[in-house]
Amino acid sequence: MSVKKETRKVLIVDQDADSSQRLSHQLQFIDYETKALSSPELLDSLGDLSIYSSILIANFHGIVPWAKGLRAKHENCPPLVLLLGNQPADISQEEIDENFVGCLKSDIRYASLSDLLHKSKVRGTANTTPSKEGTQNPELFRSLVGNSRSVQRVRKMIDQVAPTEATVLILGESGTGKEVVARNIHYYSNRRNKPFVPINCGAIPSELLESELFGHEKGSFTGAVGSRQGRFELAEGGTIFLDEIGDMPLTMQVKLLRVIQERSFERVGSNKSIKSDVRIVAATHRDLEMLIEDGRFREDLYYRLNVFPVEMPPLSSRAEDLPLLVNELITRLEHEKKSSVRLTPAAMMALCNYDWPGNVRELANLMERLTILHPYGVVDAADLPPKMAPHGRVLTEGRDEVDANASGSAIPLVSGMPQVALNNKPRLPRDGIDLKQHLTDIEISLIEQALDECSGVVAHAANRLKIRRTTLVEKMRKYSIQRPEEVS
């Protein structure tokens, strides 16, 4: 599986060159790329601000209306962090909380800086809002493409439950698109302009899960150097998506049940109750009823979550949707990676006969790999991985059809790309190509695949790529690539 790269660029706006340089050095030390501006007016010259994970802005007179105006002007404006400097802010704490993720004082310490960057990352992914009322976000339906009866049923259920406040439990195998359904439910709900905050309950150690969900106070446990909001606070007014709820420890299940019942919680280390207005959408690939029988999941919590169950069909049960899914994925790759691929009828038949244990996620990974191996080329059954075409080496029907049409007649392939030479060699697109960016995309993808296959062990990944470990570390830093276990 590809490792999703997070934005690690930070914008510093401070007229004090010395303090700006000190902060820039601190950020670069923890592998953030920085850009410094001496005046807020210079922001207008940057254009798209969404490439930054946060903006660190020095305190100045009228900063609150300026911050509101900036967010109104830039739809995808990243979270703002207030730099207090040596002068106290002439604004209230309420105004700071409303307009900024947090504030940094003159004696910036690593713990407070790291905490705010973490908060900015979560807030940045949570506060994504649709651009136009009623406009369908194409990102949402990547794995809901298809005309099969099961997909139509899922779409209908989303339409029915989204406008309500009902708790939803999404069931299905890994890779079927459960988070896509959760995002759809949020997108078409009355909470669409509030945060959508996902958390994988199985990916966080049990001793840290309570802090991640409910936050903690300073000194509440070793390493708690400051207070921190949890995911429920960040999702206030919106939707929290509890993925892999079946992996949640029993002790946390009790506390989650209380939040659902009483609509309130306490931070770790605090006895102050915090009201919570959050819609809960949960998901799991496990059989919760079997877990209840084994004593590993609370029955009362199950009935609280299972108000409106949505079951995602495995890809193997809707093979008729494969051509549409493939076309959708190719279109996305053409847009994102500036590359494409075409499939012969024999290759498509082989994909339809495969059982897809990894579901849509496995199909997406395959299509991305094929665009790297055969950019702008034609893929036959013989070019697919052996497990997907166990008899693919003798399936020459599609190749014969390509050869028969080599004289220039129409070729009934999957993608709508312009005609290309049929020798599977990379071909230059009619409109040209950004060669540097194309090669960079290939290099990043191969590095990510090597890290995935080697479980994030850099030394082993370097051996797979036939390069020195230090060279791979430099490339990872250059492209902001994280090892799988570092991705939250």
pLDDT, tens only, 55-66: 888 888 788 888
pLDDT bracket for residue 124 (50, 70, 90): low
Q: Is residue 126 scored above 60 in pLDDT? A: no
Q: How confident is the model over 27-38, as pLDDT tens digits?
A: 877 678 888 888
Q: How many CB atoms lie within 10 A of CB 216?
A: 22
Domain ranges for the chain: 9-126, 140-313, 316-404, 435-486
| pLDDT value for 87 | 60
Cα 369 to Cα 373, 381, 387, 445, 449, distances in angstroms: 6, 15, 15, 9, 9
Q: Is residue 400 scored above 60 in pLDDT? A: no
Please check whether the domain covering 140-313 is classified as CATH 3.40.50.300: yes
pLDDT bracket for residue 474 (50, 70, 90): confident
Rounded CA separation 147/118 (Å): 40
Q: Which long-range contacts (CB under 8 A, 24 or more apart) does 84-93 make?
A: 84/59, 85/16, 85/19, 85/58, 85/59, 87/59, 89/59, 89/63, 90/61, 91/63, 91/64
Q: Report, as an integer, the average pLDDT of 412-425.
A: 40
pLDDT bracket for residue 166 (50, 70, 90): very high
Q: Is residue 280 scored above 90 in pLDDT? A: yes
Q: Residue 372: enclosing H or E segment and its boundaries? A: helix 359-373
| pLDDT value for 395 | 38
For residues 320 and 227, which has the higher predicted lDDT (pLDDT)?
320
pLDDT bracket for residue 110 (50, 70, 90): low
Beta strands at 308-311 and 279-284: parallel, antiparallel or unpaired: unpaired
| pLDDT value for 217 | 83
Which CATH number does 9-126 carry?
3.40.50.2300
Q: Is residue 453 scored above 80 in pLDDT? A: yes
Rounded CA separation 417/429 (Å): 10
For residues 78 and 181, which has the higher predicted lDDT (pLDDT)?
181
Q: How confident is the model over 229-241, as pLDDT tens digits?
A: 889 999 999 999 9
Which CATH number does 316-404 carry?
1.10.8.60
For residues 75 and 67, which has the higher predicted lDDT (pLDDT)?
67
> What's phi and psi for 100, nearest 5 deg?
-130, 150
For residues 345 and 422, which has the higher predicted lDDT (pLDDT)?
345
Q: Is residue 11 scored above 70 in pLDDT? A: yes
Lowest mean pLDDT among 120-124, 144-148, 196-200, 279-283: 120-124
pLDDT bracket for residue 309 (50, 70, 90): very high
Q: Report, as an integer, the average pLDDT of 166-178.
A: 93
Q: Is residue 148 scored above 70 in pLDDT? A: yes
Q: What is the Cβ-side half-sphere exposure of residue 155, based on CA atoms within 13 angstroms? A: 13
Are the C-beta atoms of residues 154 and 327 closer than 8 Å to each other?
no
Average pLDDT of every residue of the chain: 79
Same-fold call for 9-126 versus 140-313: yes
* DSSP state, residue 78: P
> Residue 57: beta bridge partners?
13, 82
**Residue 301 token pair:** 């919590």
Q: How confident is the model over 198-252, as pLDDT tens digits?
A: 999 988 887 788 888 998 888 777 666 677 888 999 999 999 999 999 999 999 9
Rounded CA separation 240/248 (Å): 15
| pLDDT value for 118 | 63
Cα 387 to Cα 181, 357, 455, 466, distances in angstroms: 29, 11, 22, 26
Rounded CA separation 223/269 (Å): 13
pLDDT bracket for residue 485 (50, 70, 90): low
